[in-house]
Structure formats: structure tokens, C-alpha cells
Chains A and B, each alone.
Chain A
């Protein structure tokens, strides 16, 4: 059987919408509700954030959601329980995004085993160096049929981009500009960089993320890649919502209007 992530890109070469949500946010029990609503509203992939006390790649909005989720009492164990609850109802691929330390404390083998058991397709760990992955963890990922997804940015060298592409599976994650999540670095020539990405012959489909906030940003990124990832703008939108399900659908429909 084809990996569900690969299946998404096999079926749909363009405009793949990946939405990032923080597990346990806004409430501890929101995880499953938000994910199911994302699926209903038409998201293609869900990137589920594992909250961490020190998320250095993240801007203020996702930092805040991480802190809130930790205060709510979220843990990796709880996240796997929540994913198990909706395993039979969630059919779009789930990619876990987190920082390496909570994963190491859980144990890499246990983490991969439990992630795979509840249907997760890929893992993004921005502070896991590629050589450590190759040396210590690649075989574990392989054993549990999990893709590891690496990030590239405007300051990544050509050789390193190649290496990130070679080690990644499912898709390759291109950071939209030199930035933490939630903003774009306006001092760079974004379109030149996007063109360079589009011209690079990566083996993986490319998703562009960080600082993509709305339909315009999404469509712009989609001109140069297979799709895009939206995080902070989504988190911002649902953070104060009274009806979380409704807010999730509202947001997704602003990016991708309901087909008539």
C-alpha cells in the first residue's frame, strides 16, 4: 500500500494545503476536534505540533500556543492517546512537528513505534541535525515506515538542499524566508528564491511554509511548489474562538473556498 503522504501528492500535484495546529491547544481536548474539522474543511495534510518549552524556530504566536498547551497538561503520551481516538475517522496524513528533546526523553524507538501505531506518516524535527539522523535514527524511521522531513531555507547551500532532499520522504519543507514562524523576512527577494526552488530538481514534492497567512500568500507559494503550509495565522484565528470547529472551517474556507 502506498504511504498516505505519497498518495496525497500522487493524486494532487498542485495546491496541497497543509495546516499546522498545536496539540492540546486552545484546550487540552481540542486536538481531535481541530484535526477532524481540518479534514472536513478540506485540508490535505495536518502538521501536528508537539508543544515544547523552548521552541526556538517559532515566533510569538506559536510560542504562546505551546505555552498554553503545556499549561493545559499536554504530553506526548496524551497526544498519542488523542491520535488513537480518531485513527479510524481521520484519513488525511498527519505529520508530527516537534523539537528533539521531548522525543529523546520518550525514546526515539518508542516515539517512532507509537507514532506509526496511531497512523502518523512523517516527522519534522527542526533541531535534529541531518548527520545525527543518518547515523543514529534513519534505520528506526525505516523500520516503522515513517518519513523524516527536513527543512531548507534561503541560507541553505545547494549541496545541503540536495542532502535534505535525499534524506527526506513524503515532502521537502522549504522555509519561505530567513525567519521564525509567523513572519516573512522582507529584506530578501522572495520570488527569486521561490524560482530557484521551482527550478531545483528535488526528488520530493516541495511545500513552502513560515509566514504564509492568507489566500494570496498560499496561491503565490503554490505557483512555485506543490503546496504550502500555514501555521501561525491559523493558530491566531482559532486562539480566541468560542466555537473552535466553526473557526477552523471558517479559516480553511478563506484559503480554499468551498467548491460550488
Chain B
């Protein structure tokens, strides 16, 4: 981020994770409304942000369509698989296929150390309806409505909620939701690196890990969204070498 010219301010409040960085960004906006334009990195936050971010990210499914046509001559994939933290890359990858009922949409959350371990970020499995950062969606929380600290090895999936669009895809069954653990993600990342020479972001590795859990036909056209590169995750990967 610094190489790209940004000033980076660490969030020091609360649990010091993505949720707290989002709190701090909102607080900064409250304190500087005249000279600040608030932007958010996922399909969360108050309206119209989830909708805006989903539309901007929809370029991903537009590009999937174009590339698929070029490589297979077909317009639609059979499966689109994407990881979900707040859900922006998944929203973008799903966007133009949501109405195409033949395309199976697969969202992969971070199971962390396991769904029942108490150290997880799989919101659809562990959450209930709640309000965080200005939108009503699914949220990991206590019975008293306090937000629970999630866990994932990937900073970008370490978020206790999902965008309202994903809550809808989950409730209506339009997308299927599964999860990958920290270990499964790291293993999938190592595998992609060996096979293709690509180091994926830890977040994206959760979507890759999903491939091992599904059965496909030879004729299926499966798209996994590689939402980011692993440059930022090298320090974590090195611990597993």
C-alpha cells in the first residue's frame, strides 16, 4: 500500500482486526466530512455502499464472460467459486450470473481453525440477523447482540459479517455456502504455487481449497476467482515452509 503511495494508519482500537479498521474508517469520516470521501473495500457498510461496491466489482463477471467465450466458445460457466469475507470479490464474480439459474454459485467462507473451534469467521454458519457498520445482514454475535471476534488466517476474511446481498443469496439458496479452514487454504495455496507458479492471496486460497471438496464432470466449466496475489501474505506462507 505504501509503495502505491498511500498513507497507512493502523487501527489500534477493539480487536484490531478488519472490523475495527472499518470502525476507524467510519470514525475518521465522521470527523472529517468536509474533505473526506468515504470508500469501503467490501460490499458492507451503510446503503448505498454495498450496492455501489457490487456494481463496481461486477467487472469481474463481465470479464469472466468475455474470457470464457474466448477460451471455450461458451457464454456461461457451470460453476463460479469465490471466497467471502465481506463479499466484494464474490459479489463481482457472481453479479452477471445471479439471474442465470444454471450457473452454480459457490461462496467460500473462512472456517478458521474449524467451525466449532470458537476461532472461525464463517458468518452464514455461525451468525444471525444483526446490524453492523450500518447494514442489516448476517452477523456473528452473542445473544446480547455484541459482535463476536472472528478468526481467520487471512486478514481479509477475518470479518464477523457478510454483505446484505450475500445474506440474501444464502437465505434464498441462490448460492451455496461452504467454508475452508486455515490449513486447507494454506495447502491449496502451496499447490497452486507448485502447479502454476502463482502465489495466491490467502483469501483466494480458501476458494481454491473448495475445488477438492466438490465433484465435477469433464465438461464442466469451473471458474475460481483468484481475488488477489499472495505478495502481502509471504510472511504467513513462510511459516509453513
Contacts and interface: CB of A to CB of B under 8 A. Distances in A.
B30 to A, nearest CB: 5
B34 interface: yes
Contacts of A60: 13
B131 interface: yes
A166 interface: no
B72 interface: no
Nearest to A98: B145
A63 to B, nearest CB: 6
Interface string A38-71: 0000000000000011101101100100010010
Contact of B30 (A52, A57, A76, A102): A57
A46 to B, nearest CB: 22
Nearest to B32: A178
A197 to B, nearest CB: 17
B132 interface: yes
Interface string A76-101: 10000000000000000000000111
Nearest to B19: A54
B27 A180 contact: yes
Contacts of A179: 30-31
B101 to A, nearest CB: 32
Most buried by B among A54, A56, A178, A187: A54
Nearest to A177: B31
Interface string A129-169: 00000000000000000000000000100000000000000
A243 B31 CA distance: 34
Contact of B147 (A57, A76, A101, A155): A101
B13 A63 contact: yes
A117 interface: no
Contacts of A75: 144
A102 B31 contact: no
Interface of B: 13-14, 19, 23, 26-27, 30-34, 129-134, 139, 141, 143-147
